[in-house]
Amino acid sequence: MLNSLSNITDSTVTASDGSIGKVTEAFFDDQSWAVRYLVVDAGTWLEGREVLISPYAVRQPMDADKEIHVTLTREQVRNSPDVDTQRPVSRQHERETMGYYGYPYYWGGGGLWGIGALPVLPPYPGTSAEMEVDDALRAEENRQEDSHLRSSVAVAGYDIQATDESIGHVKDFIVDDLSWAIRYLVVDTRNWWPGGRKVLIATHWIDHIDWATRTVSVKLTREQVRNSKPYDETRHVDRDYETLLHDSYGRPGYWD
């Protein structure tokens, strides 16, 4: 199901034996546009520490009541590697975190999550076939040492540049909470279009991102955006809406 990241943010994360804390933001991969970690403020339980929770740990289906259940214990989270979430998370930090929980690396391989499309743990870990895959992923890791994680909080506010001037700024993100792929940016057009509305821009329509100037460029015109299907924050984004949205831009769907 498609869900807004703002709806996921501030959700309580609950382990098998009690609460861990609340989601404050997400770290996503700027190459594949997938949420790789939820940043959870553990509050007074861990003396203000923030921890990273991978989608591998999230129980499906997710509830709609601002509570995310994970397949972890509080003790596991307590003993997890320390990560300074106020600084860029390095690939070394990721290796330590993924290794601690026993999760496969998502980088390398042909799928959104390494060798698969979903963050699902293999049913029989430690087989010779998986060891060969792990070796391949480690080799790929050595070629792609730099991490590509971005903070959802930091990217919110980025300017969206169409081919003929700005159309607004990033307000939110629409996430597939099964695959954790970010499908759309929610764009607030008020700065350009007085009394304007929020619209969705698919991440696969993005042409270029300038991280230094906080600018996202898309090959769309203001007129296309003005004539696009409006986004209603009170309703879920379903496939019927997505189809109308893509049709209004004359673009094929990512599901085709």
Closest Cα to residue 26, out of 53, 59, 44? 53
Whether the per-residue pLDDT at 143 is higher than 50: the answer is no
pLDDT at residue number 217: 98
pLDDT at residue number 126: 47
Whether the per-residue pLDDT at 136 is higher than 90: the answer is no
How far apart are the C-alpha atoms of 206 and 50, rounded to whole Å?
Answer: 31
**For residue 28, which phi and psi values (nearest 5 degrees)?**
-120, 160
pLDDT at residue number 17: 96
Region 111-118 average pLDDT: 92
pLDDT at residue number 212: 95
pLDDT tens, position by position, 59-72: 998 877 789 999 99
CATH match for 156-249 among 3.40.366.10, 3.20.20.70, 2.130.10.30, 2.30.30.240: 2.30.30.240
pLDDT tens, position by position, 210-233: 999 999 999 999 999 999 999 999
> What is the pLDDT confidence band of residue 181, given thresholds at 50, 70 and 90?
very high
**For residue 6, which phi and psi values (nearest 5 degrees)?**
-65, -25
> What is the pLDDT confidence band of residue 29, given thresholds at 50, 70 and 90?
very high
pLDDT at residue number 130: 46
The highest-level CATH class for domain 2-150 is mainly beta
> What is the pLDDT confidence band of residue 134, given thresholds at 50, 70 and 90?
low
How far apart are the C-alpha atoms of 79 and 206, rounded to whole Å?
Answer: 39
pLDDT at residue number 48: 80
Buried b (16+ CB within 10 A) or exposed e, 149-175: bbbbeebbebbbbbeeeebbbbbbbbb
CA 68 to the chain's CA centroid: 15
Q: Please answer whether residues 200 and 231 qualify as being in contact, where contact means their C-beta atoms are separated by less than 8 angstroms.
A: yes
Give the residue extent of every domain in the chain. 2-150, 156-249
Region 120-125 average pLDDT: 72
**107: amino acid identity, one letter:** W
**53: amino acid identity, one letter:** I
pLDDT at residue number 113: 96
Q: pTM of the entire structure?
A: 0.90
Task: Kindly list the distances between the CA atom of residue 135 and the CA atoms of 56, 114, 119, 141, 167, in Å, as whole numbers in the listed order.
Answer: 20, 12, 19, 10, 45
pLDDT at residue number 131: 41
Whether the per-residue pLDDT at 49 is higher than 70: the answer is yes
pLDDT at residue number 97: 95
Topology agreement, domain 2-150 and domain 156-249: yes
What is the percent of the chain with per-residue pLDDT over 70, rounded to a whole number? Answer: 91
pLDDT tens, position by position, 77-96: 999 999 988 888 999 999 99
Whether the per-residue pLDDT at 123 is higher than 60: the answer is yes
> What is the pLDDT confidence band of residue 11, given thresholds at 50, 70 and 90?
very high
Q: Please answer whether residues 76 and 64 qualify as being in contact, where contact means their C-beta atoms are separated by less than 8 angstroms.
A: no
